[in-house]
Structure 1
């Protein structure tokens, strides 16, 4: 079966994202200019503005593109019904590693995610990383490894509410998160931070 070639608009979007990946890591999201992005992408500044409203939108699109690339493997594991806790750990570790590889983009998008009410959802209704985590938690509820007395979306916010500041701290200290640290984070998330109480 012949795969359809991307149209000109999609090709231009990819050129912009490729150029921005380099520009943002060299100069930061704030330090890069739309003019420099356009030049590096081989496009006009008007074309860049026609496709993206701001540098921040481009930065989030870069993150979404990356999460889509490695997220498909997790979707396959999800559909196969693998252990949800291991899936959750591996998905968070993959995200942490990507953010460690592109720290300037990561800091700009993660800090904005904490400081605003942005939903960080995928464009055009496509699958998002947050949606993947929600679905993994829903699987965990069916498997009995995640509490089932709440909708999985609020549980997703709790996981991300601990994960995002932990990644930011790792980026600020220059110490990438390890699998053991992700396991520790999940233990705190799933078991809580209070002292164990005697069950009556």
Structure 2
């Protein structure tokens, strides 16, 4: 059992060191050797715990996605879904702007997302899907489409807007609000 604790401690050291290095140098300019040095571990130890630098980055993204307890608590309190979506996407936009190299990996993954979010771990797609399902219960989100599909539509538009903002186009809370309104209300003529 002690080796599991040491392994988990080493994984966390590597993830923390990678987070710092990616912020400081960017994903492309960071090597596994630099991550190992920042963590105070050997390169071999890093490779024993992670397959690649990309694997480390994806684990960092998964760690951020797993930190959704506060949003889920607001869901149990039946928070207005429009306000909750605005909070979630605004917080995500802040994280993307603070972590541009990781945000690019998260927003433009090499493997396209599927209709079903990953079941083995928490995901941003799963959180947005669950918020939209709550919105359907609240009568604020259309019920003629599945929450999974609408989550992909919303995240596709949001992801493109964030990728544009990472190359210099401003993206602020009013744009998040506008994006949510358009997706929730639809693009057809208002009656």
Short-chain TM bin: 0.7 to 0.9
Equivalent residue, structure 2, for 1:82 = 79
Q: Secondary structure in 2 aligned to 1:31?
A: coil
**What TM-score do the two structures reach when normalised by structure 2?**
0.88
**Unpaired runs of 5+ in structure 2?**
none
The match for 1:163 among 147, 150, 158 is 158
Q: What does the per-residue CA deviation read over 1:38-97, in whole Å, with 9 as the maximum and x for residues that have no partner?
A: 11111121221122112122112222222333x211010011111111111111111111
Calculate the aligned-residue CA RMSD, in Å.
2.2
* Runs of 4 or more above 4 Å deviation: none
Does the alignment pair 1:129 with 2:127? no
**What TM-score do the two structures reach when normalised by structure 1?**
0.84
Alignment check: 8 A CA contact 1:130 1:156 kept: yes
Equivalent residue, structure 1, for 2:95 = 98
The match for 1:140 among 135, 141, 150 is 135
Q: Secondary structure in 2 aligned to 1:17?
A: helix
Change (3 A) 1:197 1:23: closer
Equivalent residue, structure 2, for 1:47 = 45
Distance 1:39 1:163 in 2: 36
Deviation at 1:8, TM superposition (A): 1.4
Alignment check: 8 A CA contact 1:29 1:108 kept: no
Deviation at 1:188, TM superposition (A): 1.8
Distance 1:46 1:106 in 2: 27
Q: Secondary structure in 2 aligned to 1:182?
A: helix
